[in-house]
Structure 1
Amino acid sequence: MTVRRGPTVRRRRLASELRRLRERSEMTIEEVGERLAWSAAKVSRIETARVGIAAADLTRMLDLYGLDPDKRAGLQSLARTARTRGWWDAYAESLPSDYATYIQLESDASFIRGYSGMIMHGLLQTEGYAREITRSGLMGLASPVETERRVEVRMTRQNLLLREENPLRFWSVIDEAALTRRVGSAAVMREQYAKLLEFADRDNVTIQVLPAVNGAHPATAGSFAIVEFREPYDPDVVYVETMTSSLYVESDAEVYQYSLAFDHLRAMALGPDESKELIAGLIKEVG
């Protein structure tokens, strides 16, 4: 699939909420189809996000589920924007569909909490650091042009943190191993450390360092990001990236487990001020 998968993230979130509303109403897919004079297959396709839903059909479903009028605006807005194209569509040929899906989630988020175990989170990377990481990750299988386009995408994503109106709130726990791993030249690392300190001074960004001496912790399995949205109908999503694909965790119980793990991580990590002191010290130490 191409990057156009991105806008279907909103459709997936709408579908998830419609499924929750049906289950709360204790109705089966067949019962909904019968009440609305639809086929059960149509209801199933809507709930699995295989198809979109017309405004009139959405109204009928919400009427059937008895959703209060004052709670409908968000879902109706989500339905209207389900096919909206994002800035990332311009990079369709350079982005894996899983990555494009995450960018869509990230662009709609109000708060992201994440743990970075091996490298800096993409939202915190400098251009030089991002270029080195991208080259290494692609293992020489991509052209220089594609590498640069991916770096450009990563830099564009940072506008979420820097915009003046409603900037994204971001809380990053960075493993000391990610900080001390040399990526590129000493100059690249000095620039990256300085960038972290710039971000750490922003009101919407919190950075903590998890010292290696603190030993085992709940995220030894790897990095993750918990994505929260502004609207109450939007459930949190956990994003876990692997070498060849990405995993989206949406089960309430599993999302809670990741949230609990993050709470343990931030409790084990240095405080924000201590973390800034450590990062400032690394600028002096890097050769």
Structure 2
Amino acid sequence: MATNAVVARRRLALSLRERRLRAGLTLEEMARRMECSPAKISRMETGRTGVRVADLRMIADVLGLGPADHEAMIELVRQARGREWWHEFADIVPEGSATLFGLEDGAPAISQHSTSIVPGLLQTPEYARALISSVEGITADLVERRLALRLRRQHLLDRPQPPRLDIVLDEAVLCRVIGGAEVMAGQCRHLLARAAAPHVVVRVVPFDAATHAAEGVGFIIFEFDGEEDVMTPVVFAEQLSRSTLIDDPDEAGGYQTALAGARSAALTPERSLELIAARAAGLR
């Protein structure tokens, strides 16, 4: 099921916790049976430390895992050790960005609420360059590397089985002219082209819409399919110097509810595209 090291590590950690709880064992009881500290079990169950095959063997014995379940977890351990394409950009992004890129790369469904700029997955090179170049003191080299990273992230939309992408934009996103009129017009046309794909939905919340719970807050929700999948939704709130990950189910659920409110306040996808087309035409 896992598609990259980040998702594999997270799925393994959540699986270990779910299996332990199903067996009715506390952290202390599990640690005692494995002859290690509760802190070590906690680190493995939160993904803060990797799980070795030797550890997994002991865990399988303690929890009574069958051969099929044991082998599935060993495969997750192998996948979690992988080196992914975004590692080459680790020196130019905020701490924690690898988790964002991994969840983005591996989630079957991505939803985003944006209040001021077009989401990175839907940006044109010209629009992205204008944004990246706006950072004070940034070098030309760094602009090119960050641009390459942003464009590489977009490759997932062109896969044979791309993720479902559900975007809610405030109308202000269309009115803020990033990079000049020509660049912004091209960006609007790009939104229209991307939204023509069956797996992409773009909605716009107009200025005269009712107030909703997500007002003024930008965030991304990564969701995973399947009743048997232990992966719960994860929310990312992107900031200037770091990204905040929210994986508590109740807190993440609040963001899902807020996003549903934004969708309700938005125009239909069809009317949203008409508004985007009109904006593109007006910028010529």
Q: TM-score, normalised by structure 2?
A: 0.89
- 2:108 match: secondary structure: strand
- 2:235 match: secondary structure: strand
Q: Which 10-residue stretch deviates more, 64-73 or 222-231?
A: 64-73
- 2:202 match: secondary structure: strand
- 1:97 match: secondary structure: coil
- 1:247 match: secondary structure: strand
CA distance in 2, matches of 1:207, 1:94: 30
Note the alpha carbon deviations across 1:225-283, whole angstroms, 9 max, x for none. Answer: 11013461222101111222211111111111111111121121111111111111011
Offset, 1:36: 2.6
Question: Hey, what does 1:225 align to over in structure 2?
Answer: 220
- 1:213 match: secondary structure: coil
- 1:222 match: secondary structure: coil
- Once the two structures are aligned, what percentage of the paired residues are identical? 38
Question: Hey, what does 2:18 align to over in structure 1?
Answer: 20
CA gap 1:241/1:53 in 2 versus in 1, 3 angstroms:
same
Note the alpha carbon deviations across 1:119-158, whole angstroms, 9 max, x for none. Answer: 011000000110111122xx22321111111111111111
CA distance in 1, matches of 2:72, 2:259: 28
CA distance in 2, matches of 1:270, 1:54: 50
- Contact kept? 1:22, 1:65, Cα under 8 Å: yes
- 1:161 match: secondary structure: helix
Question: Hey, what does 2:275 align to over in structure 1?
Answer: 278
Choose from 116, 119, 144 the match for 1:118.
116
What number of residue pairs does the alignment pair up?
Answer: 279
CA gap 1:214/1:88 in 2 versus in 1, 3 angstroms:
same
Give the residue type in structure 2 aligned to 1:36. M
Question: Hey, what does 2:191 align to over in structure 1?
Answer: 196
Note the alpha carbon deviations across 1:104-124, whole angstroms, 9 max, x for none. Answer: 111111110111111011000
Choose from 246, 255, 260 the match for 2:257.
260
- Contact kept? 2:201, 2:269, Cα under 8 Å: yes
- Contact kept? 1:223, 1:240, Cα under 8 Å: yes
Offset, 1:171: 0.5
Question: Hey, what does 2:200 align to over in structure 1?
Answer: 205
Q: Which 10-residue stretch deviates more, 82-91 or 190-199?
A: 82-91
- Contact kept? 1:8, 1:83, Cα under 8 Å: no
Q: TM-score, normalised by structure 1?
A: 0.88
Offset, 1:73: 6.1
Question: Hey, what does 1:174 align to over in structure 2?
Answer: 169
CA distance in 1, matches of 2:172, 2:65: 49
CA distance in 2, matches of 1:67, 1:40: 20
Offset, 1:88: 1.2
The gaps in structure 1 that reach 5 residues or longer are 1-5
Give the residue type in structure 2 aligned to 1:270. L
- Contact kept? 2:218, 2:237, Cα under 8 Å: yes
Offset, 1:8: 5.5
- Contact kept? 2:94, 2:241, Cα under 8 Å: no
Choose from 59, 75, 84 the match for 1:86.
84
Offset, 1:65: 3.6
CA distance in 1, matches of 2:200, 2:69: 31
Question: Hey, what does 1:3 align to over in structure 2?
Answer: none
- Contact kept? 2:169, 2:204, Cα under 8 Å: yes
CA distance in 2, matches of 1:211, 1:41: 49
Which segments of structure 1 move beyond 6 Å, counting only runs of 4 or more?
A: none
The gaps in structure 2 that reach 5 residues or longer are none
Question: Hey, what does 1:130 align to over in structure 2?
Answer: 128
Offset, 1:191: 0.6
CA RMSD, Structure 1 to Structure 2 (Å): 2.2
Choose from 137, 141, 147 the match for 2:137.
141
Question: Hey, what does 2:238 align to over in structure 1?
Answer: 241
- 2:198 match: secondary structure: coil
CA gap 1:68/1:122 in 2 versus in 1, 3 angstroms:
farther
Q: Which 10-residue stretch deviates more, 114-123 or 60-69?
A: 60-69
- Contact kept? 1:75, 1:233, Cα under 8 Å: no
